[in-house]
Amino acid sequence: MAYYFEEPSRTFGEYLLVPGYSSSKCIPSEVSLKTPLVKYRKGEEECPFEMNIPMVSAIMQSVSGDRLAVALAKQGGVSFIYGSQTIEEEAAMIRRVKAYKKGFVTSDSNLTPDATLADVLDMKQKSGHSTVAITDDGTAHGKLLGIVASRDYRISRMSRDTKVTEFMTPLSKLITAPDTTSLHDCNDIIWDNKLNSLPLIDKDGKLQYMVFRKDYDSHKENVNEKLDANKSYVVGAGINTRDYAERVPALVEAGVDVLCIDSSEGFSEWQKLTIEWIRKNYGDKVKVGAGNVVDRDGFRFLAEAGADFIKIGIGGGSICITRETKGIGRGQATAVREVAAARDEYYKETGIYVPICSDGGIVHDYHITLALAMGADFVMLGRYFARFDESPTNKLRINGNYVKEYWGEGSNRARNWQRYDLGGATKLSFEEGVDSYVPYAGPLSEGVQATLYKVKSTMCNCGALSIPELQEKARLTVVSSTSIVEGGSHDVILKNSSRVYE
């Protein structure tokens, strides 16, 4: 006879935190959000890999490219570059993140001299950047011919088919610097000459980097940025259970800091075999997370297999339809609570603390706080990060509103058979994700800082100044459907009826 769980499968939206006593020291600026990413012997040794914020980006084509990886590392989190691409392409993304110099930006807006004003406007629309480099071959490292900035053209007075060579600032009138110039000296040049940007070129005149005036203050503000021992930004990568013997060595050689097996369901021998191969060839030097699971048995299986962290969640993502198509999954709150209890049980038995990651089910910012309170060490977010400038997808205008494209790894668009196939055909048999849009939300830094301020504020309401303290002191209550309605605005006429949740 089938086994039936006694407790209903609950989501984060069915819970609220009950405030606790907070002292005068409980203010957001005093809250620490540091959290372990990989397993360690708690109390006996330091975690070999901590994050400064409890947020990682989902292993998705529409979320985690190299630009977002750098942006999230600046805030103190870790991005997992998507694995549903060729080994060479994924390794190249890792290299770009590791090669990124703080303050030195590889231009992502480049055109050839044959381009027109229409091309400039299209480029600006796609990238969100107003500075476009004109190079001989239209690449980021071609020979620099000029720069087009917003001050170089007036849309109302120019034809859109005007060649960029007619209005760009040519190289002869640009102030540039050698690519060996230090960031300190670059900033001095920018300030002394009242520049908005400074191109750095090599001895052959080829563009290498751009240094921007606006980045100066932001670098001073990124106190939480996550760097490795070589002062490069930390980056993770997704792998599958098919080609790991070829993919893992390439990613390790490229400099990846941590790996994660990307799968819709992790309670399988495929994941165990993958972890065993990594341990056999790299020992504990290569860190690898696994998942996803939704109960105690799944956690124990992956912990005993040697996973460095374990992801929780099946079917809770905003674009995931696994529950709808297969009838498989569990409410995210219930899954996190049970796996957290299993994690604590495993720690008492072995002395090894295996961090857990809540993946999916986050609709509102406060759901992050709930996930942490219920025992998650950090959360993985897809829709949340897909909204920002730095995600890999296009920014579009639909019905008067700006949106960004967002699709699931189980969708036909992703064609990620390695993630969802069970070992038979080398194709996607049916879809477990949808293709969609999400409201555009601007730069990642502003969004993440606003979200984390809410998390810190709520933690203060609970009398907690760290994530472990929150998990110790948190008091949660199940809410009724009526009280959920009561919790939002009600019985009033809103002045702004077009409000969109960000």
Enumerate the active-site residues.
320, 419
Give yes or no for a contact between 500 and 403, defined as CB atoms under 8 angstroms apart.
no
- The token duo for 136 is 């001989």
- The token duo for 419 is 């993630």
CA proximity to 84, closest of 62, 56, 55 = 62
**Rounded Cα gap, residues 308 and 287, in angstroms:** 6
Only one residue has tokens 């490069």, namely 232
**287 Cβ partners below 8 Å, 6+ apart?**
37, 38, 48, 49, 257, 258, 259, 308
CA proximity to 79, closest of 316, 241, 304, 238 = 238
**Rounded Cα gap, residues 446 and 424, in angstroms:** 44
**Rounded Cα gap, residues 119 and 125, in angstroms:** 10
Only one residue has tokens 């859109």, namely 160
Helices (H), 283-375: 296-305, 322-326, 332-350, 365-373
Helices (H), 6-111: 66-75, 87-99
**Rounded Cα gap, residues 101 and 232, in angstroms:** 7
Q: Which helix (H) or strand (E) holds 289?
A: strand 288-293
Angle at 128 between CA 125 and CA 130, to 5 degrees: 95
φ, ψ of residue 199 to 5 degrees: the values are -75, 140
- Which residues, in sequence order, are bridge partners of residue 197? 212
**Rounded Cα gap, residues 233 and 462, in angstroms:** 33
Q: Please give the distance of CA 308 from its chain centroid, rounded to a whole number.
A: 19
Give yes or no for a contact between 184 and 411, defined as CB atoms under 8 angstroms apart.
no
Give yes or no for a contact between 210 and 199, defined as CB atoms under 8 angstroms apart.
yes
